[in-house]
Structure 1
Amino acid sequence: MLKKITIFIFILFMAGAVAGLATAVGVYFYFARDLPRITSLRDYRPATITEIYADNGELIGQYYLEKRKIIPIEEIPDLLKKAFIASEDARFYEHQGLDFPGIMRALMKNIAAGKVVQGGSTITQQVTKSLLLSPERKLKRKIKEAILAYRIEKYLSKDEILFLYLNQIYLGHGAYGVEIASRTYFGKKTRDLNLAEMTLLAGLPKAPNRYSPIAHPDRAARRQRYVLGRMVAEGYITEAEAEAAAATPIHINTPPDPFTLTPYFTEHVRRYLEKKYGYDKLYRQGLQVYTSVN
């Protein structure tokens, strides 16, 4: 009798497993139809800034749809990459697009809190959401996002994915990507950032407006300490380095608006460029224009 029960339970288990697998395969092929082509990611050309300079090299004008300046992954400081990875996706170099342990941790924390306090999206999923899918919050989009994230991991290297993420991400006050965010908040290039500034930037993706160091410096400082703690936990920095960075004063140094320097001349140049090259090239292709004005 016991043997028959055991066999029956085993058959039920196998039937459930087969049914579950068949369902998963069916869901995959159903949602995999008509997905965006991930090959477009290798030809990443987002809208970038057209900059106009005086004859002495001073910036006197900017035109753009999205305020962004592309920076190669090799030029992004290693600690800045690690700061974003520690705070946004600690298992970035281990998972294949989906972090199942991270999803479960986020689910348990959200259940315990009775609200959404932590997301489970990986950096790869965020790239997928930003570049390939609409922002709708529906289950079918999440399934498509998961499928695409897995495909992207098979198609691109981790550095290529990180390059897309760090150049595409919105970091508040009109700044897209880490290079423009660095200039917007600190008036310097990413290569010149210290650890305190890097971790402040890395705290912004979760809520750029809420953690803005310009509008909410106290919240930004708390978020920065969280990022420093995550970097210590991941072994990227020591406790002493984290404490030193937390104690480092942050000087917000937003550059002045270049349009106030030569507004009429700059507008004349803008009209000339749009007439000669067209709207798309002027506002999307990041021209570098040097003039004779002084």
Structure 2
Amino acid sequence: MGLMRAAVQLVSTGSIQSGGSTITMQVAKNFFLSHERVFSRKFNEILLALQIEQQLSKDEIFELYLNKIYLGNRSYGVESAAQVYYGKSINELNLAQIAMIAGLPKAPSRYNPINDPKRAMIRRDWILGRMKDLGYVTPEEYSEAVNQPVTASYHGAKVELEAPYIAEM
């Protein structure tokens, strides 16, 4: 459906307005292609995604995705995010902290628990609610997790020199 929506927008406006990528397509782009928004890149992305799906299981593809995506504050991947936001490994986090990280992929800048803890908590609680509704957590676990405060703080490397453009390179 995302591809169809993107195709309709491309035809109607003449330019790429939004993404239509599946997780596999995002893995193909993140590992093998540029982020340039051109039709040829999208075509190559689709071909690579088809090859990836022939070689890897959905769980393996999702693992690659989770270990490559940007999650704010110079963290790429869930383990890096756990280190940056909590100073711990991902398997040491409690349910509320894990749900906080799970809310980041949608919009890391918008749901950043350091920059906007209130909005991040709303997103975290929504994730926890979905987990409860889908049977991944019990009502008791849900209640305990939503009552926890935001405990994220920056644990990343200290910036010694302000050079934003070269840092991104």
State TM-score, norm by structure 2. 0.73
The answer to whether residue 87 in structure 2 is matched with residue 187 in structure 1 is yes
What pairs up with 1:36-115 in 2 under 5 angstroms?
100=1, 103=2, 107=5
Any conservation in 1 of the 2:96–2:148 contact (CA below 8 Å)?
A: yes
- Of residues 203, 214, 237, the one that matches 2:137 is 237
Deviations 1:84-128 (A, max 9, x none): xxxxxxxxxxxxxxxx5xx38x95xxx9xxxxxx96533222211
- Distance, in Å, in 2 between the alignment partners of 1:141 and 1:238 is 44
Q: What SS is found at the alignment partner of 1:185?
A: helix
The answer to whether residue 37 in structure 2 is matched with residue 137 in structure 1 is yes
- Distance, in Å, in 2 between the alignment partners of 1:145 and 1:189 is 32
Gapped runs of 5+ residues in structure 2?
A: 10-17, 161-169
The answer to whether residue 116 in structure 2 is matched with residue 222 in structure 1 is no
Shift in alpha-carbon separation, 1:138–1:228, aligned structure 2, 3 A: farther
Gapped runs of 5+ residues in structure 1?
A: 1-99, 112-117, 261-294
Superposition deviation, residue 259 in structure 1: 9.0
* Stretches (4+) displaced over 6 A: none
Q: What residue is the counterpart of 2:105 in the other structure?
A: 205
- Distance, in Å, in 2 between the alignment partners of 1:232 and 1:248 is 16
Matched-pair identity in %: 48
Superposition deviation, residue 149 in structure 1: 1.6
Determine which structure has the larger strand proportion and give its number: 1
Larger radius of gyration: 1
CA RMSD, 1 decimal: 2.9
Shift in alpha-carbon separation, 1:140–1:227, aligned structure 2, 3 A: farther
Deviations 1:136-177 (A, max 9, x none): 233443333233222211111233223311221111111111
